[in-house]
């Protein structure tokens, strides 16, 4: 869900609405049983509904922690996947319809567990040879106690109008959630910051800037067709247009299924414009397991995958995590 007025300035007097919703959230959370894992749990979350770059941040975090010698498992609910879990995701056998597209991405990097119940997933991981649990989303869910909360905000959307859903995009007020936050990652995907980021700076002092690094195959034809369902496609399209002519773009909703009809349309546009097809890792995993003669299978073969990586101050981030959690490298 993405409503235009969510991202515009709201009068300050409307912030009183947040007190009412914060009170309801507080009452609800009082009745939820909380579990403390014997392993340290690092949560990568966000303040708002929808995507803000959590998944690429989780992948980056796992990569840098692994380089430092920590054995990490990623735990997520597997949004839109039908399997309840807990289970270990296998990139070679599972489909996005079973475990969700994000889980397949994480499984390419290492041990990934899908569980609709985060507590059950955590208990499952505790039986494995793991040092740290990285939670993809779940900042606002109190059932599993987190030891370190890393919050991702995008520079072009920030926290919107600062109001809680349904009046705004926030899951809870910044005032209510600030005590739980250890670090904020500002993902730079625009030339100018959203007006609400001044409010974020007011409440948080530990903020690290991060950027997307886009790597595109230089051997592609001049004309390209792009399809993607990532949270913020503008940065991707801008990077592609630096070197290629985007003749058609198919901007999908987050987690939108790529059906036969859509796959056929993309292939037709590619043929009409003599254009190569570009997409992201997150999008192409939705085509895994397609019938051999289907348009989805043909699209899978013809798609060129763009690498979207995150670059941040690695040492500053890791040192803060290690100091906060009192971790000792192997």
Q: Which tens digits make up the pLDDT trace of 300-320?
A: 999 999 888 888 999 999 999
Whether the per-residue pLDDT at 178 is higher than 60: the answer is: yes
Residue 11 DSSP label: -
Task: Decide if pLDDT at 2 tops 70.
Answer: no
Q: Which whole number is the average pLDDT over 65-83?
A: 94
Across the chain, mean pLDDT equals: 90
How does pLDDT run across 199-253, given as a tens digit for each residue?
Answer: 899 999 899 999 888 887 778 889 999 999 887 787 788 888 888 899 999 998 8
How far is residue 266's CA from residue 131's CA, in Å, rounded to a whole number?
A: 43
The Cα–Cα gap between 127 and 87 comes to 12
Percent of the chain with pLDDT over 70: 99
Task: Determine the pLDDT at residue 1.
Answer: 55
Q: What's the pLDDT at 70? A: 95
Using a 10 angstrom Cβ sphere, with 0-12 exposed, 13-18 middle and 19 or more buried, the burial of residue 71 is middle
Residue ranges of the alpha helices (H) in the chain? 16-30, 54-67, 96-99, 101-109, 118-125, 174-177, 197-203, 233-241, 260-272, 281-284, 295-302, 314-325
Query: pLDDT at residue 41 above 60?
Result: yes
């Amino acid at each position: 869900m993405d409503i235009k007025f969510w991202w515009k300035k709201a009068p300050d007097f409307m912030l009183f609405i947040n007190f009412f919703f914060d009170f309801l959230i507080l009452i609800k959370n009082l009745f939820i049983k909380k579990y403390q894992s014997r392993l340290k749990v690092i949560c990568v979350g966000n303040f708002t509904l929808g995507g803000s770059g959590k998944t690429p941040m989780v992948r980056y975090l796992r990569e840098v922690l692994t380089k430092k010698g920590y054995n990490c498992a990623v735990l997520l609910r597997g949004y839109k996947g039908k399997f309840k879990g807990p289970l270990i995701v296998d990139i070679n056998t599972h489909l996005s319809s079973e475990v969700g597209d994000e889980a397949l991405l994480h499984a390419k990097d290492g041990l990934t567990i899908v569980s609709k119940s985060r507590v059950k997933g955590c208990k499952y991981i505790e039986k494995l040879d793991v040092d740290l649990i990285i939670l993809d989303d779940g900042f606002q869910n109190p059932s599993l106690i987190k030891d370190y909360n890393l919050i991702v905000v995008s520079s072009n959307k920030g926290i919107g109008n600062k109001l809680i859903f349904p009046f705004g995009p926030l899951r809870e007020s910044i005032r209510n959630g600030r005590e739980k936050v250890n670090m904020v990652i500002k993902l730079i995907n625009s030339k100018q910051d959203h007006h609400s980021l001044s409010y974020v700076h007011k409440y948080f002092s530990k903020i690290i800037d991060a950027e997307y690094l886009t790597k595109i195959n230089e051997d592609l034809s001049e004309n390209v067709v792009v399809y993607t369902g990532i949270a913020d496609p503008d940065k991707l399209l801008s990077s592609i247009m630096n070197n290629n002519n985007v003749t058609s773009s198919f901007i999908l909703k987050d987690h939108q299924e790529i059906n036969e009809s859509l796959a056929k349309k993309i292939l037709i546009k590619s043929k009409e414009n003599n254009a190569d097809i570009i997409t992201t890792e997150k999008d192409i995993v939705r085509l895994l397991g397609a019938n051999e003669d289907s348009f989805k299978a043909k699209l899978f073969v013809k798609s060129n995958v763009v690498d979207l990586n995150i670059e941040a101050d690695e040492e500053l981030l890791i040192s803060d995590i290690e100091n906060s959690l009192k971790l000792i490298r192997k």
